[in-house]
Amino acid sequence: MVNSFLRQGRAITIAQIHAAIAIVLWSAGGWAQGAVHQASRPQSAIKSLTINEQNASELNRLKEYPNLEVLSISCLEDLQALPEAIGELTHLKEFRIENGNGCIMNVRLPKSFGKLHSLQTLVLQGAMVHAPDFAAMPNDVRNLPTGMSQLKNVTELNLSADGLTKVPDFVAGLAGLQTLDLTFNWLSDLPRLLESFAESETG
Domain residue extents for the chain: 1-40, 43-202
> Are 144 and 165 a contacting pair, CB within 8 Å?
no
pLDDT per residue as tens digits for the range 50-87:
999 999 999 999 999 999 999 999 989 899 999 999 99
Kindly indicate whether the domain formed by 43-202 is annotated with CATH number 3.30.428.10: no
Q: pTM above the 0.75 mark?
A: no
3-state helix, strand, coil in the chain (%, to 5): 40, 15, 45
Segment among 44-48, 55-59, 178-182, 186-190 with least mean pLDDT: 186-190
Element (H, E) at 49: strand 48-51
Rounded distance, CA 67 to CA 50, Å? 14
Instruction: Give tens-digit pLDDT for 108-146.
Output: 999 999 999 999 999 999 888 766 555 546 655 567 888
